[in-house]
Chain A
Amino acid sequence: MAGMVKLRELAPVIRSKNAGPFRLTFDVLFDDETLYEHVRDSGAFNEKAIAAAFGVPESQISSLFHFDAARALKVTFFRPHDQCAIGESDAYGCQQHVPLMDLEVPDP
């Protein structure tokens, strides 16, 4: 079986952003069609692995998509705190992406 690599080694854009005040959405964008299809079809980008990477229950994941036109994988969470609620720390949700950079996927 092939080894594993971190998603950051295959995808040039990995980002997080608020999607409204109650959700956080993450996009993984690939330049290379073959790499995109490899990761998409490997199944490594799944609810269980992503929830584990962030230490949240799978039920906190709202949806997961792949979007071929943009060579993109996408996952959306319910936010742990509503945007700008007391104790919240990232209004735009744009610095929550790092655990996805380190997500392990099979070496192509």
Chain B
Amino acid sequence: MTEITVLTPTGSLGYGFDSDAFTRAMGMGPQVIAVDSGSTDPGPHYLGSGEPLVPRLSIKKELTTMLVAGCGAGIPVVVGSAGGGGTNRHVDWMAGIVREIAAEKGLRFKLAIIYADIPIERAKKALADDEIQRFEASFDLTDELLDETVALVAQMGHEPIAQALAQGADVVIAGRAVDDCAISAFPIWKGADEAQSVHMGKILECGALAADPGGMDVMIGRVADDHFTVEPGNMRRRATTKSIAAHSLYERENPFHQAGPGHALDLNDCRFEQVDDRSVRVSGARIEHGADYWVKLEGARIAGHRAICIAGIRCPTMIGRIDEVLDAVRRDCLDYFQDNSLKIEFHCYGRNGVMRVLEPEQEITTHELGLVVDCVAADGDTAHAASHHLSGDLLHYSYPGIFNTAGNLAFPYSPSDLRAGPVYVFSAYHLMKVDDPLELFPILMEDVG
């Protein structure tokens, strides 16, 4: 029987963990420290721009703890979906931080970096060969969309990470990877049951979010032949059958069937049992391997450039007329600029700013409104000018029954109109068939220190 212990410090690298919990978990004999570092959940901006999701200071602080502990214990450190988007830029950025930490702390190790950028031509070829499949996206992938795509990655499975470990990597910085792979790669490589490892990865990838109370903190997972157990590192937290089972639902549509590259996990017969006060045993996951191996592509394109204005409204007469006033200034602005690319959105907090079309409450019952004027146009200058035009118009808009003729908006900031840069939207979220799980993900080995 192979039992592998994995330490996951947090649900997403850079979001923090309790240092005592980490020390305690290191005392539980983990064979690998593994963490996920990315997601599309924060939106396509990080993928598109190549900017890191989490600022450098936080990443460096947490990576330092992990690398010092990993090197000290002689166990590997694995990071998946580096930098948030998992593009080559993100991987290089994080590898730079790793080298800097090694130099500062006098650490020596073999570093593997794994890229996940996909050449546009590779995806076009797949499209031509009918090897692209619509997944959940609301649109089809086309050559035109691929031409507009500024960043394209694929989610690797556990195989490239396991390959890097087999090549002797002590530290793996992987580009875009399925969330559970950073965690499941080491156990699978060591011969642990694949279904149990992947299912454990799905729980551990969120760190102690699956614990009670949930939070960004340390989780320990032990995977054996036909089950795994999970336990939070922090003594303030417990794993309960309810908290762990409920996590099977979290941010996923189907709690019984979860597809990944080359496989589908069947969770219909899963059992959750309380082992002791703080740990839960999970069993029953089955894995089915498909005839073909499909990876998920994630692409981003620029939909325009944004400028925003944030303002508050307190006057009851203005609040009472807010819809007609916003309609009037929108019409005036579109007429003024005559630019087909210009899109104007008003996020009206206190009315329907949070839920927009899903908002069932039609009455405004609050005494003040928060307004975000959101302008997107093909160029940033037009967006900025439109935002300024709208905020100026709103500020001085006159309507019958106006009490306060001095101005309708309270600006918390000067400048009132802020350039927010390019707006990225998803241009690909489709499956692509590959012959080999390693094909798209080059592994570069390097001696550090």
Contacts and interface: CB of A to CB of B under 8 A. Distances in A.
Contacts of B392: none
Contacts of A13: 246
A63 B241 CA distance: 24
A25 B42 CA distance: 16
Interface in A67-89: 67, 69-72, 74, 76, 78, 80-89
Interface in B207-264: 241-242, 245-246, 248-256
B29 to A, nearest CB: 29
Interface residues of B, number: 44
Contacts of A62: 253
B253 A96 contact: no
Given A20-B136, A67-B248, A86 B360 contact: no
A71 B358 contact: no
Interface string A42-72: 0000000000011110000011010101111
B174 to A, nearest CB: 20
Interface residues of A, number: 44
B245 A80 contact: no
Given A17-B251, A87-B345, 13 more contacts: A23-B136, A27-B249, A54-B360, A62-B253, A67-B248, A67-B256, A70-B242, A70-B246, A70-B249, A74-B249, A82-B426, A95-B354, A95-B355
B23 interface: no
B256 A65 contact: yes
A92 B138 CA distance: 18
A19 interface: yes
Pick from B242, B256, B357, B358 the residue with the most CB of A within 10 Å: B358
Contact of B251 (A19, A29, A80): A19
A67 B255 contact: yes
B40 interface: yes
A86 B354 CA distance: 14
Contacts of B129: none
A42 B388 CA distance: 54
A37 interface: no
B353 A69 contact: no
Nearest to A31: B242
8 contacts: A18-B41, A22-B429, A23-B136, A53-B360, A78-B138, A85-B425, A86-B304, A92-B42
A96 B358 contact: yes
A99 B358 contact: yes
